[in-house]
């Protein structure tokens, strides 16, 4: 390998997944270089976390025009030579032109066992539906909402006493393990996309 892959994280809020990714890098469990944290929210906690860790940040508030936003994202990203973008609580749909023209890969983490409960409030959807098991999914991003090829999943039990908050907390603990693990597979070039499926090499 010539060098570690360059990672950008897009986040809109708290940034606990970003934190888990930064810690995995610091602890030698994730061989990537975090070159940029980008947010659409100027006051996102994720930005503070990045700044504290000395990581470059960009703020790009949504303009209301998806295509223009996609073009701006491409322009902002260009100097960083990013190989892969990890969406971590980024509350925007990635514009189609960005998806088409960004030369690297884009991955996302979602707090359900996809294809169950895509979109917003996945944990609340799971509680309301009455499922006994839920979890989280890391997947490649495609043009749909949470529809891209699955990389890794982890399951957690759902108890009758759960509400959205207790289930979210249980899932989040797994998110923090799963995301760095999935990114490390990417870093090792072990993810091979075969149409709808992702093959993990040397598993
Ligand atoms: C996580 O639950 C993630 O699965 C979802 O948004 C939340 C982000 O949390 N996409 P955080 O900002 O990483 O703490």
Domain boundaries, the chain: 1-103, 108-198
Identify the three-state secondary structure at position 94.
coil
Q: Is the CB of 13 under 6 A from ligand 1?
A: yes
Q: Read off the pLDDT of each residue in 67-90 and give the average, rounded to a whole number.
A: 97
For 98-112, what is each residue's pLDDT tens digit? 999 999 999 999 999
Query: In which order are the strands placed within the sheet that holds 133-140?
Result: 57-59, 32-39, 5-10, 84-87, 105-110, 133-140, 150-157
Is position 110 annotated as part of the catalytic site? yes
| 178 pLDDT more than 70 | yes
Answer whether 109 contacts ligand 1 (Cβ < 6 A).
yes
pLDDT at 3: 82
- The answer to whether residue 95 scores a pLDDT higher than 60 is yes
Residue with CA closest to ligand 1 atom 10: 89
For a mutational test of ligand 1's pocket, the pick from 12, 17, 41, i.e. the residue with the most ligand atoms closer than 8 A to its C-beta, is 17
Q: Express as a percent the part of the chain with pLDDT over 70.
A: 99
Residue 2 is predicted with a pLDDT of: 60
Indicate which residue's Cα is closest to atom 7 of ligand 1. 89
- Beta carbon of 37 within 6 Å of any ligand 1 atom: no
pLDDT-derived band at 59 (thresholds 50, 70, 90) equals very high
pLDDT score at 203: 86
**Average predicted confidence (pLDDT) for the chain:** 97
First to last CA, the chain: 19
Is the per-residue pLDDT at 1 higher than 70?
no
Q: What is the pLDDT of residues 117-126, one digit of tens each?
A: 999 999 999 9
Dist. CA 183–CA 175, nearest whole Å: 12
Would 1-103 and 108-198 be classified into the same CATH topology? yes
Does the CB atom of residue 135 touch ligand 1 within 6 A? no
Q: Is the pTM of this model over 0.95?
A: yes
Mean pLDDT confidence for 35-41: 98
Q: Could you report the per-residue pLDDT of 127-157, keeping only the tens digit for each? A: 999 999 999 999 999 999 999 999 999 999 9
Question: Residues 87-96: what's their mean pLDDT?
Answer: 96
Contact 129, 88 (CB under 8 A): no
How many whole angstroms separate alpha carbon 84 and alpha carbon 86?
Answer: 7
108-198: CATH topology: Rossmann fold (3.40.50)
| Omega cis (within 30) before 115 | yes
Length of the chain: 203
Mean pLDDT of 71-87: 97
Cβ of residue 14 lying under 6 Å from some atom of ligand 1: yes
Ligand 1 atom closest to residue 19's alpha carbon, by position in its atom list = 13
Among the listed residues 49, 72, 110, 139, the single catalytic one is 110
CATH tag for 1-103 (out of 3.90.1150.10, 3.40.50.170, 1.10.630.10, 3.40.50.360): 3.40.50.170
- 20 C-beta neighbours (distance < 10 Å), count: 21
């Amino acid at each position: 390998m010539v060098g570690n892959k360059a990672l950008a994280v897009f986040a809109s809020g708290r940034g606990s997944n970003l934190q888990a990714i930064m810690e995995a890098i610091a602890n030698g469990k994730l061989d990537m270089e975090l070159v940029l944290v980008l947010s659409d929210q100027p006051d996102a906690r994720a930005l503070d976390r990045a700044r504290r860790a000395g990581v470059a940040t960009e703020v790009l508030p949504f303009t209301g025009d998806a295509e223009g936003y996609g073009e701006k994202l491409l322009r902002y990203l260009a100097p960083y030579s990013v190989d892969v973008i990890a969406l971590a609580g980024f509350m925007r749909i990635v514009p189609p032109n960005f998806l088409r023209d960004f030369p690297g890969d884009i991955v996302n983490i979602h707090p359900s066992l996809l294809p169950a409960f895509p979109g917003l409030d996945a944990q609340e959807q799971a509680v309301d539906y009455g499922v006994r098991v839920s979890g989280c999914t890391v997947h490649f991003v495609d043009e749909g909402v949470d529809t891209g090829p699955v990389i890794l999943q982890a399951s957690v039990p759902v108890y009758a006493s759960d509400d959205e908050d207790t289930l979210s907390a249980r899932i989040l603990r797994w998110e923090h393990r799963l995301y760095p693990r999935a990114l490390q597979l990417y870093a090792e070039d072990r993810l091979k996309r075969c149409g709808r499926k992702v093959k993990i090499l040397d598993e």
